[in-house]
C-alpha cells in the first residue's frame, strides 16, 4: 500500500492494530492507500445494508424542515427521485455536522440506482440540499459535490432536472456495458 500519494489537510488519525493493517494490505494493490481501502469497505457495507424504496419510510424516518411548504417540497423531491425507476433505493444516515431536529430521525438520504450512488439529500431546519457523487477530495461532504438548495417549487424543478440527467447518464452507461 502506498501511503505517500497525497496529503489531505483535513486528515484525522486513527489507530489500528498491526494485524488489521496487514490484513488491509492483503486487499490492496500497489497504488491504493489505506483511506481508499476503507472507502471501498464502507461502500461494500452500504451495498449490503437494507435499501429502502418506500416513500412511507421517508415520511416516518426523515427529519424534515420546520416550514410546512419546504417539507412538502422535500416530499415531492423524494417522490420524484423514487419515481425514476424500480431500481432506485435509498439509505438513511445522520449528518454529524448538523444534529437532527428530532433525535430519532435521519437528516441524510443517499439515493442509489441499483447499488451505484445517484444523489445525496441533506435536510435542515429551513432547506434541503442536493449533492451529487464526486471523486474530488476537496468537497464539503467527502465524495459529494454540492449542487443546490431546494426550498420552493422553482428550486425543486431545476434540481430534479439535474437528478434526472444524472439518472439518464447512468442508464446510458449501463446500456453501453
CB 60 within 8 A of CB 52: no
Please give the pLDDT value at position 38.
74
Q: Mean pLDDT score of the chain, rounded to an integer?
A: 84
Residue 5: CB partners within 8 Å, gap ≥ 6? 31, 33
Greater model confidence, 16 or 161: 161
Q: Which of helix, strand or coil describes residue 22? A: helix
Checking if the pLDDT of 90 tops 60, the result is yes
Which pLDDT score, from 0 to 100, does residue 162 have? 97
pLDDT at position 7 over 60: no
Confidence of residue 4 (pLDDT cuts 50, 70, 90): very low
| pLDDT above 50 (res 16) | yes
Q: What is the pLDDT of residues 72-86, one digit of tens each?
A: 999 999 999 999 999
Q: Is the pTM of this model over 0.85?
A: no
One DSSP character per residue, 38-88 reads HHHHHHHHHHHSPPB--HHHHHHHB---SSHHHHHHHHHHHHHHHTT-TTE
pLDDT of 15 strictly over 90: no
Confidence of residue 111 (pLDDT cuts 50, 70, 90): very high
Instruction: Map grid coordinates 423531491 to a residue.
Output: 77
Is the pLDDT at 18 greater than 60? The verdict is: yes
What pLDDT score does 30 carry? Answer: 67
Q: Which of 4-18, 71-85, 114-128 has the lowest mean pLDDT?
A: 4-18
pLDDT tens readout for residues 20-50 = 777 777 776 767 777 777 777 766 666 556 6
49 closest CA partner among 95, 12, 106, 93 = 93
pLDDT value of position 109: 95
Q: Is the pLDDT of residue 87 over 90?
A: yes
Amino acid at each position: 500500500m502506498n501511503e505517500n500519494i497525497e496529503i489531505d489537510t483535513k486528515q484525522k488519525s486513527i489507530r489500528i492494530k498491526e494485524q488489521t493493517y496487514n490484513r488491509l494490505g492483503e486487499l490492496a494493490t500497489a497504488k491504493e492507500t489505506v483511506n481508499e481501502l476503507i472507502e471501498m469497505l464502507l461502500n461494500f457495507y452500504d451495498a449490503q445494508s437494507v435499501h429502502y424504496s418506500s416513500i412511507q419510510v421517508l415520511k416516518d424516518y426523515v427529519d424534515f424542515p420546520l416550514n410546512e411548504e419546504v417539507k412538502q417540497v422535500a416530499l415531492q423531491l423524494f417522490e420524484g427521485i423514487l419515481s425514476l425507476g424500480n431500481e432506485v433505493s435509498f439509505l438513511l444516515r445522520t449528518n454529524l455536522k448538523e444534529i437532527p431536529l428530532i433525535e430519532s430521525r435521519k437528516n441524510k438520504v443517499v439515493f442509489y440506482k441499483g447499488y451505484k450512488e445517484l444523489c445525496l439529500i441533506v435536510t435542515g431546519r429551513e432547506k434541503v440540499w442536493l449533492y451529487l457523487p464526486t471523486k474530488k477530495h476537496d468537497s464539503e461532504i467527502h465524495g459529494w459535490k454540492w449542487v443546490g438548495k431546494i426550498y420552493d417549487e422553482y428550486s425543486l424543478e431545476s434540481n430534479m432536472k439535474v437528478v434526472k440527467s444524472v439518472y439518464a447518464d447512468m442508464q446510458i452507461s449501463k446500456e453501453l456495458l
